[in-house]
Amino acid sequence: MGTEPILQRGETTTSIGRIKPELYKQKSVDSEDNRKEDVKTCGKLNFTLQYDYENELLVVKIIKALDLPAKDFMGTSDPYVKMYLLPDRKKKFQTRVHRKTLNPLFDETFQFPVAYDQLSNRKLHFSVYDFDRFSRHDMIGEVIFDNLFEASDLSREATVWKDIHCATTESIDLGEIMFSLCYLPTAGRMTLTVIKCRNLKAMDITGSSDPYVKVSLMCEGRRLKKKKTTTKKNTLNPVYNEAIIFDIPPENVDQVSLSIAVMDYDRVGHNEVIGVCRTGLDAEGLGRDHWNEMLTYHRKPITHWHPLLELPGRATSFDSQGSCPSPKPTSTP
């Protein structure tokens, strides 16, 4: 106490004392370990892995999940599992939905075409969901198996048990889209200007995407019209600044909504949905607030960022065509 520190070769001092880089490094490692310990788990997932050398396939069998959390009012869940072999998100598999159980027995086998020498660069991503017929499916949790050779060399079937990490906002982050809404009641014209997206989830094995935006005018679950932007190649942060215009009479503006889907263009296969959002009086949260703000400030473009969500279940058909009914007269007692 009270003595000046003796400097070793390569050390420096400041007005607050001696700097020891190794201490900072140790602190960083410790904090990472703490974060891992803080991750909440919500059950276990059991699966097997084996490599089919003759056909160059990774064979994954999802066996069962145990001790899942209850997501329904009845104290149960309707779980299913979605699976990718990252970094490729175009090829995905999904189990069947198992009704009213917290310990589902899946017993389903899936095959990923992949060369054996590529396995060290790939990782399995399992997402466990609770199916909901009428709204967006809730993500229960996920398992990321980043070392496929952890259990064996895969020449024989290897059984794996992994903790399911509870879903966080980071685990389901698909990116965001910025767009403006402007309504001219005298002309009956609504303009949605797609401005840009940021931090989109990569869909290609290259770690990028070829995104475009598809906007659908919806009425009571039916798609009346759809329009789309141009495609931006090889980017997760595309800039569009493209206006999409719909003719909507003032008497119908309360009955319609807009469904916005950010898509990944695929020249060979089918285009994949990266994420979706909705705006309208029947939307939730920001989607409803944005719509109301547009109706409050006519002729003024109202701009907001919207988080992208997973595509909801197929309870509502987005492919059926139709027309919006005329507004119903108010009933008098």
Among 149, 150, 142, CA closest to 170: 142
Q: Kindly state the tokens that stand for 131.
A: 């199916």
| Average pLDDT value over all residues in the chain | 80
Report DSSP letters for 259-308, one per residue: EEEEEE--SSS--EEEEEEEEETTS-THHHHHHHHHHHSTTS-EEEEEE-
Tell me the C-alpha distance between 225 and 157, whole Å. Answer: 50
Percent of the chain with pLDDT over 90: 46
Higher pLDDT, 109 or 9: 109
Tell me the C-alpha distance between 307 and 309, whole Å. Answer: 6
Q: What is the pLDDT of residues 242-298, one digit of tens each?
A: 999 999 999 999 999 999 999 999 877 788 899 999 999 988 888 999 999 999 998
* C-alpha distances out from residue 227 to 54, 144, 216, 242, Å: 45, 36, 7, 11
Both ends of the chain: CA-CA distance in Å? Answer: 89
Higher pLDDT, 237 or 12: 237
Beta strands at 158-166 and 211-219: parallel, antiparallel or unpaired = unpaired
CA atoms lying within 13 Å on the CB side of residue 210 = 14
- pLDDT at position 202 is 77
Residues 313 and 133: beta-carbon distance below 8 Å: yes
pLDDT for 103 beyond 80? yes
Q: What is the pLDDT of residues 165-192, one digit of tens each?
A: 987 654 556 888 999 999 999 999 999 9
- pLDDT at position 137 is 63
Domains and CATH numbers, the chain: 41-166 (2.60.40.150), 175-308 (2.60.40.150)
pLDDT for 20 beyond 70? no
For the chain, give the number of residues: 333
Q: What is the pLDDT of residues 48-69, one digit of tens each?
A: 999 999 999 999 999 999 999 8
- pLDDT at position 327 is 46
Higher pLDDT, 165 or 2: 165
Lowest mean pLDDT among 25-34, 89-98, 110-119, 293-302: 25-34
Tell me the C-alpha distance between 292 and 279, whole Å. Answer: 9
DSSP, collapsed to helix, strand or coil, labels residue 73 as: coil
Element (H, E) at 18: strand 17-18
Q: What is the pLDDT of residues 198-232, one digit of tens each?
A: 888 877 666 778 999 999 999 988 999 999 999 99
